């Protein structure tokens, strides 16, 4: 009986050894923004309907036009690789401007919403939209086929002064992106630019954290009695009751600048000014100091 039991165990282990492992996998499809047939951000007559906008609509619109612009750049690159252009404006630059206009328009309006309505356009959402739009818009300046076409067109004496400046803009941006370098030097430049981006991100992140960490409460109404009502609304928890404190002073630019303008207490202004100018420095929180990142940026540049 024991021998039979041991035999079954050995057979089971043998089956485990010879049975192939079939692990599953997940296919992640790229995120495609939803179609925006009637985009309120692209309203050509009058002011855009802000009341009909939402965070999701703004994000989807910018991502859609960014994807459309990237597709247009890739299509132009394929055309230039197959057939070199004879008219750089008709075949390259005009289509780029046409496809880039919706992206620039929606991007600019989203930036306006971010500066005027933080509830509709929170910082975290805006940063993601801004980075995506900036990355997509810079694609035309890092394209080697477009750079080559503009460089060849720059020697054309038939171009007007305006056209020469446009072509010169593209060739200059291409050189700044390393398109005029050999492969080894271009790779080194790309690595350096990547390091610069990382250091800039760390620098900006620490400044944002230091900005959020500072708060100063005012409970004496005599301090804020001369403040405009719109400023008080930014400083209280309930904007519907601007005259009921406490009022909170932060280092956000729209609050900080107005506070220094209207605050009658010199010592209080000095305290807030010191906090603002010493953000992310060694005189404040050592964990948020930016001097090392600043020196690294100077070295890399």
Question: What are the sequence ranges of the domains in the chain?
Answer: 52-180, 208-300
- What per-residue confidence (pLDDT) applies to 123? 79
pLDDT for 35 beyond 80: no
Whole-model pTM? 0.67
The topology (CATH level 3) of 52-180 is: Glutathione S-transferase Yfyf (Class Pi); Chain A, domain 2 (1.20.1050)
What is the arithmetic mean of pLDDT over 146-173? 91
What the block records as the tokens of 126 is 């805006």
The length of the chain is 301
| Residues above pLDDT 70, as percent of the chain | 83
Q: What are the angstrom distances between the C-alpha of 42 and each of 53, 116, 202, 253?
A: 12, 19, 34, 29
What the block records as the tokens of 237 is 């928890």
What is the arithmetic mean of pLDDT over 134-159? 91
pLDDT for 274 beyond 90: yes
Q: Identify the sign of the CA torsion 182, 188, 190, 192.
A: negative
pLDDT for 294 beyond 50: yes
Residues 234-265 pLDDT 10s? 898 887 888 887 899 999 888 999 999 999 99
């Amino acid at each position: 009986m024991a021998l039979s039991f041991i035999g079954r165990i050995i057979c089971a282990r043998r089956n485990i050894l010879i049975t192939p492992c079939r692990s599953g996998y997940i296919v992640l499809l790229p995120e495609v923004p939803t179609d925006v047939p009637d985009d309120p951000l692209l309203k050509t007559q009058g002011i855009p309907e802000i009341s009909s906008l939402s965070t999701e609509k703004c994000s989807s619109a910018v991502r859609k036009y960014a994807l459309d612009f990237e597709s247009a750049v890739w299509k132009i690159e394929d055309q230039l690789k197959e057939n070199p252009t004879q008219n750089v404006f008709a075949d390259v630059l005009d289509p780029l401007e046409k496809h880039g206009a919706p992206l620039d328009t929606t991007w600019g309006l989203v930036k306006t919403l971010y500066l005027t309505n933080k509830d509709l356009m929170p910082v975290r959402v805006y940063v993601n939209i801004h980075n995506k739009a900036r990355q997509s818009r810079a694609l035309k300046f890092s394209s080697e086929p477009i750079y080559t076409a503009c460089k060849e067109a720059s020697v054309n004496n038939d171009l007007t002064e305006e056209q020469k400046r446009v072509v010169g803009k593209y060739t200059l941006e291409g050189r700044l992106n390393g398109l005029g370098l050999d492969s080894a030097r271009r790779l080194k430049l790309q690595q350096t630019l990547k390091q610069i981006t990382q250091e800039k991100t760390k620098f900006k992140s620490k400044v944002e954290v230091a900005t959020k960490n500072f708060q100063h409460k005012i409970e004496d109404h005599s301090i804020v009695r001369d403040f405009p009502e719109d400023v008080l609304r930014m400083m209280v928890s309930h904007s519907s009751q601007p005259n009921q404190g406490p009022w909170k002073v932060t280092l956000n630019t729209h609050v900080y600048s107005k506070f220094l303008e209207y605050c009658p207490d010199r010592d209080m202004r000095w305290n807030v000014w010191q906090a603002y100018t010493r953000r992310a420095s060694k005189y404040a929180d050592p964990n948020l100091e930016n001097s090392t990142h600043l020196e690294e940026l100077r070295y890399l540049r």
